Every structure is written in structure tokens, then in C-alpha cells.
Copies of this chain bind each other. A is one copy, B any other.
Amino acid sequence: MTDQFLTSKPYKGTRDFYPDEMRMRAWVFSTMRRVAEDFGYEEMSGPIVERFDLYAAKSGEELVNEQIYHFEDKSGRRLAIRPEMTPTVARMVAARLEQLTLPLRWYSIANFMRYERPQKGRLREHWQLNVDVLGESTVRADAEIIGVVAALMRSFGADGSMFRIKISDRRLFNDVLRNLLDVGDNEIQTISKAVDKRAKISREDYEAWLAESGIAKEKIALLDDVFESSLSDIAGRLSSASQGAESLETLFSLLDQAGVSDVCQFDFAIVRGFDYYTGMVFEVEDASPDNRRSLFGGGRYDNLVGLFRKSEVSGVGFGFGDVTFQDFLTAHGLIPSDLGGRPTALIVTFDGVAYAEYLKLAEELRSGGIANAVYFDQGAKLKKQMQFAERKGFALAVLLGEDELASGKIVVKQMASRRQLTLDRADCVEQITKMLEDT
């Protein structure tokens, strides 16, 4: 034995979900689930650990070198706690390509770990909804994914004044850099990183970053000009047709037809951090002036399944994290006061009645579909038991004293209204069910 106590805090950057926090999480997840299934997406999932190689290949330097929790198992295999879902999705598609009927519409809700400095909107463990279309390379899938994003935001009560979906295309970005800025392929990656971080770093740092990559001052100014330009202006300035620009034109027309173009806009500055994106990329931004930050994003990745086998299966999708999003919901007042999921009925116990009678009543109610808990301590005063019911948020208290037992009755008290009814034991299940439906 030791005299020293262990700390009761969770590991830095991770969260404990007590029943209250869990009700919030359950409400968020069930809303996400409903929207994904409304669009015909099927739920899947993968392991919490993967081989480290899975991320080393394509996820991007910052994630791999700085953010992944990795370690060796007893056989010397280098493993990682998953930092994101997309590589797992690509691996699973590659593993069963012959048996799967493409295209796939898949979603998952899973937890991830990244070594981050914990701060507002950023933790070390977070949960994420991932939604992907695999095996459909046309822009129709891109449009559907953006449609799912818009439906998700709306299903949480967010309207067009609260968020914007900003969309661009990696191919257009590359074309502009090659064609207008005349930079080589090696520099494109560096510039895209600088552009991705532009909103988060100072203007000086941004310019220094580009200068280090050999980008001249006048090219930085040219790039500034592109950020302010419309899609057709940019396309017009290129010396040859850009597949990215054409694809974006089609995408915006489909988004218009799908009735979601009011919350969407083109933004050349959207590039996304992951190296694996090859086509359309997007970010959802909080539109409120005092919290203009990216909530989540996604895009098209063409080469991921090719890491595992000789085949081309294009994917498009996004990961929607819970931490930033809960801040968004709070800031916009979108969390309902009643999240549901509170316990139903507390059976109050009295000293003069055999405890077995309460076990019997509990079983009767459960068989009738009425969830309930029995108060263990028969010696406790009625007042204490009612306080317990109140604190735990039970909808009802069910009272069975000596008199009720003798006369075949029970007393049911509605906690919110304090209304109290004496019911015949014989048909109490129907009566209580009705009471619960009315509240």
C-alpha cells in the first residue's frame, strides 16, 4: 500500500464523459447518424490502432512527425493510435475490393488522438463523423458530399448566417501556381502549407515562409490578387484550360440544383492540410464575425487505395470533429435545453413493505416498457428519495406503500409538474405510458 493518491484527472487533452456530457454527445452523434443515413450512407468502423506506415505515406509531414501517438508492440511492429479515419477507409476498400459493389457510401463515428497543445477547440482525443463516397470519380459525388455537409449543419439548427462552405480545387491551385506564378512542383507543396496556415499566422511569418521557398515578392502580391478573384476571372487568366476550374463550375451548378448554393462559395485560399487531396477541397467556416474559424473540412483523394494495391478507386469525403463543433453550437445557442436520455421512473421504497414487492413492481413496469430504478435504501425518508429523483432527472416517481399494496394501487408523481395520481396497479402500465407520452 502507498500513502500517495493517484490523480483523478484524465490525461491532458482527453475528456471524461459523465452522464450529462454523454447526453450531449449522444444527441450530437444521433443527429449526425440520422443525416448520413438519410442520404443512404452505411455505417462502418475500424481499429483504434493501425500500422504507423499507413499515415507515413500520405497524411502530411506535420501530422506524422509531430502529432501521431506511435509506439512499438512486443513484436517490434510500429503502431499508431489512429489520428484520422481516411487511411483506414482506403485500406478497408483495398482489402475487399472484389467483394464490394462500388460506389460505396460509408460513414463512421469514431475517436482519434493527436498530440496537440490543448486549447479552445483543440484536444488530444476527439470524436469525428467521417462521411465518404468511394469509387465515384465524377463531380456528382463531390456535390453530394457538400449536400450532406449542408444538411448536417441545418439539422443542428444552423442557418446561412452562421456558417459558410468554402470550396476550391487542388488542381486549380496547382495550375495557378505553375502557370501564373511559374513555380515548380517541389515548391507547390510548401506554398500550399503556407496558404493553409495563412489565416492562423502573421503576415510577416507568411511572407517569410514563401520567401524561404524562393517565391519572389511580386509573386506573393500576384497570389494575394488571386485570393480576391472570382473563379471565372482566375480561369480566364490561365493560358490553358484548367480541369479544376471546369470541375468547380459544374460543382457550383449542381449545388445550385441541389438547393444548397446559398451557403457555399468559391475560395481559392482553401487547400487543406492533408497531402493526399487531389481535387475538390472545402472547409466549413463559422460565419460569426468574432469567431471566424474553420470548423471542419474535406475533399477528394484519388490515390489512397493505390497505396495498398494496383487499382484506382477515387474517394471524396470529410471528417467532422466534435470539439470545435460543440463550441460552435454553444456560441450560436443551438443546444436544446432538453437533450433527452434522462432516466424514466424511480420506484420509491418504504420500510413497511417487503423489498421483494419492489423487485416485482420493477419487473412489471420493465415488461411494460417502462424503464425504472428501485431506490435501494428502504430506511431513507421520502423527502430524501424525492430529492434523489429530482437530482437525477427522473421523469416520474412511483410510490408503493403499505396502503397501496393492500388496495392494489400505486401512486405516480410527475416530477416536473408535481402532479400526483393514484392508479390501479392492474392497468398502471398503460396509464404511465400515456403520462410519459403527454410530457
| Contact A37/B371 with A16-B95, A47-B10 known, Cβ cut-off 8 Å | yes
Q: Which chain B positions have C-beta within 8 A of A49? A: 11, 14, 69, 81, 113, 125
Q: Which chain B positions have C-beta within 8 A of A366? A: 38-39, 151
Q: Which chain B positions have C-beta within 8 A of A16? A: 44-47, 88, 92, 95
B14 touches A43 (CB 8 A): no
**A151 smallest CB distance to B (angstroms):** 8
CB of A416 within 8 Å of the partner chain: no
CB of A223 within 8 Å of the partner chain: no
CB of A434 within 8 Å of the partner chain: no
- Please state the number of chain copies in the assembly: 2
B45 touches A376 (CB 8 A): no
Query: What's the Cα separation between A138 and B376 when bound, in Å?
Result: 8
Which 5 pairs between the two chains have the least Cβ-Cβ distance?
A40-B373, A14-B47, A71-B71, A257-B356, A8-B95
Q: Which chain B positions have C-beta within 8 A of A54? A: 6
**A68 smallest CB distance to B (angstroms):** 11
B254 touches A77 (CB 8 A): no
CB of A115 within 8 Å of the partner chain: yes
B111 touches A5 (CB 8 A): no
CB of A374 within 8 Å of the partner chain: yes
Task: Mark interface residues in A358-384 (1 if CB within 8 Å of B CB, else 0).
Answer: 011001001000011110110000000
4 further A-B pairs in the complex, CB-CB below 8 A; given A39-B371, A40-B373: A16-B92, A22-B42, A39-B366, A40-B344
Q: Which chain B positions have C-beta within 8 A of A151? A: 366
Q: Which chain B positions have C-beta within 8 A of A258? A: 356, 359, 363
A343 touches B51 (CB 8 A): no
